Amino acid sequence: MRSRKSLYLFTIPALLVIAVFFVYPIGLTLQMSFTNYSGIGVAETVGWKNYDRIFSRSRYLDEIKITLWFTVIVVTALTVTGLFFAAMLHRLPLIRNFARAALYTPAMMSFVVVGYIWQFIYSPLNGGLNVALRQIGLGALEQNWLGDPAIALYAVAATQIWMFSGFTCAIFLAGFAGIPEEINEAGRLEGASSWQRFRYLELPLLGPSFTVSIILTTIGTLKTFELPYILTKGGPDGATRTLSIEIIDNLFGQYKFGFASALSIIMLIVVLAVAFVQNKVLRDRENVT
Amino acid sequence: MSLSDTATPLPRDRKAARDLLQKQAKSVLVHGVILFLVALMLLPLFYMLMMSFKTGTEIAQDPLGLPNSLYWGNYMNALASMGYVRSVANSLGITISVIIVVVLVGAMAAYPLARIPNRASRVIVMIMALGLATPNFVTITPIYVIFRDLGLLDSYLGIVLAFAALKLPLAVFFYTGFIAAIPMELEEAARLDNCTNWQVFWHVIRPMLAPVTATLSLFVMLMVWNDFTYPLLLLTDKDKFTVMIAVYRFVGATGIDPTMLFPAAVLGSLPLLILFAVFQRQIVSGATAGAVK
């Protein structure tokens, strides 16, 4: 079977691409993270100095906390809204396809466009949100949505949730579609209400959908960069400064390639750790129920 | 189906009639509530469209009102100064190039992986999974440095390769699953005719891959059109901008002027929204299938 072995020649271009764009860069990031490389000249090895800096300054620890908290809010809300819409639409076949597509539309748009639209919606004077609140007599709730450090992170999170609810809804709808009709039929014959069927029959069978939805949205949200970059540039007062914004800032604002690399490694560790724990917990849960 | 089925169109007595009525009213109500919530979710898009047709004075005087008339002046201004046509051409050219690279390289790699189920194949699949799982912020600094040293910054070749690398692992997974399901008989017939591996791949396997290629092409198109980070870092030459970076630079330069922002936002999203309107079923189920795998 000589010809069979030689088939592996076909994988060479792909392996080359992976080597050049993933394997080598990860190695290079690791190596640069122990230097003070500034993009030009020779990189001096500085040992653990970059990492020391990250873990000894509240600024960077705060950014890690902000990134994680932002992820918790967004992932929780996306799971709840996606599940809610999917559970309802599963029961409403008449409008299911239309509503699924409509909800998915924001996910088809670019972060740039979504960021700019919402920046205007949130703007303090003529912004759509404040004007709308005023017009329905809730003027007291007006806020400087993106300018108030106590609110800005939630405003950015709301935008991200708006954008991807349709995505989690589609994942859960696929999960609902995979539930055998007989199970619900049996529930209906037993006189179970719609809520009871959801709670005791469907929910336990949606384990895999939860796993996929939560892991994907978590990985996507942990590296959040575009929305806070466009909406707030990380401000006000660092309230929306995620790890990714810090990386890009160090890279292109200050040319601290070595330090940016160390931040990237921290990010990789955070993403891998979270993904690993989630995967384990969620899969175990799937097996129990 | 039995006679006592509650959905019988001709209820026997008044209680049944009332129950049916109640049930229908409840159903109308639930549909109404859900449609209202969906409309609420679409409100920002409606807002974008509406704002894009209002003059500056209208926006200042009545920020939420409907436009008095469809004022196309904003679009004219945006079109005149954002380099829209050029950026659309760039995005299209980059999309097509990325599709060619991803499809060819991905399908080639998938062929042996699908046909030789041994340890070596599993290791290669694992390496691909590594590519899929790596956040691009981990590789962005070295890629910038490598591109700079190779003179690939600000070049079409560079951005095409960078994008292609991002979608390649997904392509390999899709094609591997698909090729594994193609019956071996077709290939064996070709081999008896003394075809080389390449001839078998090109003449027997490749023509059957169209469904995967279509899904993949949609994904690539979405990425090239919408991605912001790579072009932001790798392109500084205005003539090579993709659509989104053109929108970003243009709106940023006007200081979030609504008469510029909203037409630019509409122009930037329109092609993909049209694509979505036509292919929404394929895109949504493709995305969820990709997710569930």
Say whether pLDDT at A32 is over 80. Answer: yes
Q: Is position A2 within any domain? A: no
Query: What contacts A289, CB < 8 A, 6 or more positions away?
Result: A204, A207
Say whether pLDDT at B160 is over 90. Answer: yes
Q: Is position A110 within any domain? A: yes
Q: Is position A189 within any domain? A: yes
What is the model's pLDDT at position B45? 92
Q: Which residue of B has its CA nearest to A32?
A: B142
Separation between Cα atoms, residue B291 and residue B293, nearest integer Å: 5
CB contact under 8 A, A101 and B42: no
Q: Please state the rounded mean pLDDT for residues A212-224.
A: 87
Q: Are A161 and A169 in contact (CB under 8 A)?
A: no
Q: Is position A41 within any domain? A: no
What is the model's pLDDT at position B292? 53
Say whether pLDDT at B3 is over 50. Answer: no
Longest CA span, chain B: 85
Smallest Cβ–Cβ distance between A216 and the set B37, B165, B291 belongs to B291
CB contact under 8 A, A116 and B261: yes
Q: Which residue of A has its CA nearest to B269?
A: A109
Q: Is position A207 within any domain? A: yes
Q: Which residue of B has its CA nearest to A94?
A: B31
Smallest Cβ–Cβ distance between A120 and the set B256, B281, B287 belongs to B256
What is the model's pLDDT at position A146? 85
User: ipTM above 0.90?
Assistant: no
Q: Please state the rounded mean pLDDT for residues B9-37.
A: 83
Question: Which residues on chain A are in Cβ contact (under 8 Å) with B262?
Answer: 117, 120
CATH number at residue A81: 1.10.3720.10
Question: Which residues on chain B are in Cβ contact (under 8 Å) with A272?
Answer: 133
Q: Residue A161 has which token pair? A: 């949730």
A241-261: pLDDT as tens digits: 998 898 888 888 788 888 989
Q: Residue A248 has which token pair? A: 């890009």
More confident residue, A15 or B135: A15
Q: What are phi and psi of A284, to 5 degrees?
A: -60, -40
Separation between Cα atoms, residue B52 and residue B67, nearest integer Å: 9
Task: Place B44 in a pLDDT band, splitting at 50, 70 and 90.
Answer: very high
Q: How far is A242 from chain B (nearest CA, A)?
A: 12
- As beta bridge partners, residue A35 has A45
What is the model's pLDDT at position B1? 41
What is the model's pLDDT at position A288? 58
Smallest Cβ–Cβ distance between A267 and the set B135, B162, B168 belongs to B135
B49-64: pLDDT as tens digits: 888 888 878 887 777 8
A69-86: pLDDT as tens digits: 999 999 999 999 999 999
A85-113: pLDDT as tens digits: 999 999 888 899 899 999 999 998 999 99
- Measured at the CA of A37, the angle between CA A32 and CA A43, to 5 degrees, comes to 90
Show the DSSP H helices in chain A as ranges: 2-6, 12-18, 24-32, 49-56, 58-91, 93-104, 111-122, 128-135, 152-177, 181-189, 194-196, 207-222, 226-231, 243-248, 257-288
CB contact under 8 A, B228 and A14: no
CB contact under 8 A, B136 and A165: no
What is the model's pLDDT at position A3? 57
Q: What are phi and psi of B55, to 5 degrees?
A: -75, 165
B105-133: pLDDT as tens digits: 999 999 888 888 888 888 888 888 877 77
Separation between Cα atoms, residue A228 and residue A226, nearest integer Å: 6
Say whether pLDDT at A125 is over 50. Answer: yes
CB contact under 8 A, B226 and A109: yes
Give the distance, in angstroms, between the CA of residue B268 and the centroid of all CA atoms in the same chain: 14
Q: Is position A25 within any domain? A: no
For residue B48, the tally of other CB atoms under 10 A from its CB is: 24
Separation between Cα atoms, residue A13 and residue A51, nearest integer Å: 36
Structural domains in chain A (count): 1
Q: Is position A9 within any domain? A: no
Separation between Cα atoms, residue A218 and residue A76, nearest integer Å: 10
Q: Please state the rounded mean pLDDT for residues A187-205.
A: 84
Q: Residue B5 has which token pair? A: 């089925």
Residue A83 domain boundaries: 47-288
What is the model's pLDDT at position A2? 45
Q: Is position A12 within any domain? A: no
